[in-house]
Amino acid sequence: MPWGPFLFDAKISAGDAIQTVALLFAVAQFTIQSRANRRADAEAAALREETARKALESRQVEIYQRLEIESNAVFKFEAEHSDILPFFKTHLAPGRAEYERRAREGDDFLTARKYYENCCNLFEISARLRQKDIVDPEVFASWVAWYFDTLLEWGFRALWHDLRDNYTPQLRMVFDKFVNELIRDWDAPHDSRRGAGQNESEEAVRMVADQTIEALRSRFYAELGSKFVCPTITNWLARVEEGRGDRAHPLAFR
């Protein structure tokens, strides 16, 4: 006779029926528990992921703040030696007479070395952290401008050959190619002119044309964007131009 959705067989003993029901119940319980365990595991994994994400964000903020503090210390050092460092920060070196006078008098070259060492220490840390994907891409991309401005300074290029051994491959990857290029294209020809007795004492004569700088800037960002596999760096200059006004302030200064 029918019994629910099943056919009741009188030949099945009560014990067999109880065992069957118990088995079905156990299977159902196992299925329910397995689903509950999977949900619990998924929730635990999501919680771990969220906790890790928040920890990383907190660490990134802490690192960013630390880098900013250390960079402010470098800027303070630069301000405290404003009578010395501008000599080293033009695009091209001064005339030989001025260079030799500075070399003989005071500690100008030692001060410049200390300044560039401080810069490179920060550059190295930020480059390593970016390669390890710890520093936010936009934070690092904002630092590339400082890298580039430093590259343009003859004093940095004059020291880099001696400094580079103290720094990791990440930083050498940033500067080696471009320092070598600018020594070849800028510094060596300029030094030949200095040797020929041309007057290179005026600061304006020691600056490279803006169009040359802008072309170099574009290549520098593209190169670093490729080396760090970072589209944020590659697209940084275009994004910065978005929203820039057509005119600068009449009294704009640097």
The dihedral region occupied by 106, where left means phi > 0, alpha psi between -120 and 50, and beta the remainder, is: left
Interval 240-253: pLDDT, tens: 988 888 888 888 87
Interval 50-59: pLDDT, tens: 665 566 666 7
Interval 68-83: pLDDT, tens: 888 999 999 999 999 9
Average the pLDDT over 150-162 and give the result: 97
Cα–Cα distance list, 183 to 36, 104, 155 (Å): 67, 24, 11
Instruction: Read off the pTM.
Output: 0.75
Q: Which among 124, 90, 62 is positioned nearest to 201, based on CA atoms?
A: 90
Residue 12 φ then ψ, to 5°: -80, 125
Over 60: is that where the pLDDT of 16 sits?
Answer: yes
- Is the CA virtual torsion 92, 95, 100, 106 positive or negative? negative
Looking at residue 23, its pLDDT comes to 78
Total Cβ atoms within 10 A of residue 167: 19
Q: Which among 222, 170, 168, 212 is positioned nearest to 189, based on CA atoms?
A: 212
Q: What is the DSSP letter of 205?
A: G
